[in-house]
Amino acid sequence: MRDDLDKLKTLGSRTSAPQTYDPSVLEAFSNRHPGRDYWVTFTAPEFTTLCPKTGQPDFATLTIRYIPEKRLVESKSLKLYLFGFRNHGDFHEDVVNIIYNDLSRLLKPRYLEVFGKFAPRGGISIDPFVNGGTGAKYKRLAAKRFDDWQGVR
């Protein structure tokens, strides 16, 4: 049995959905393949947040993609974390950067990107993308992905 799984609180337990943004609900576990590059992709097609000025809901398909180093995010904790944005007011660009910052702190991945494909409101959609990498190889990847970011849609 893996001893790193004992620290996970949400997986396998009944958990209430958070009512507010709370990065402390995020949990991680050990990467059992640290010598290998591989992608982990999460797609949240029903992501919701609020406009900070009007309180109107904003809907998006949120895509989180990363190459892990030593840790991986536990998916149930990620779902709860993302659910906490339902009552959180921030602009689309801010939300994507907040999620990037929180996951970056938690995981310290080789590479991470967060893309929000927000539904149009008022005849315009806003689709923010943020990414970054560590070390020369992953910084080059980040620069290329950023240049080609239209391809992640």
Q: Annotated active-site positions, please?
A: 51, 58
DSSP calls for 110-144: SEEEEEEEEPPBTTB----EEEEESHHHHHHHHHH
Show the tokens assigned to 40: 């982990």
Find the helix or strand (DSSP H, E) in which 71 lies.
strand 71-73
Region of residue 116 (left: phi > 0; alpha: psi -120 to 50; beta: else): beta
Please return the burial class of 45, using the count of CB atoms within 10 Å of its CB with bins 0-12, 13-18 and 19+: exposed
The residues facing 117 across adjacent strands are 61
The residues facing 43 across adjacent strands are 63
Show the tokens assigned to 80: 């709860």
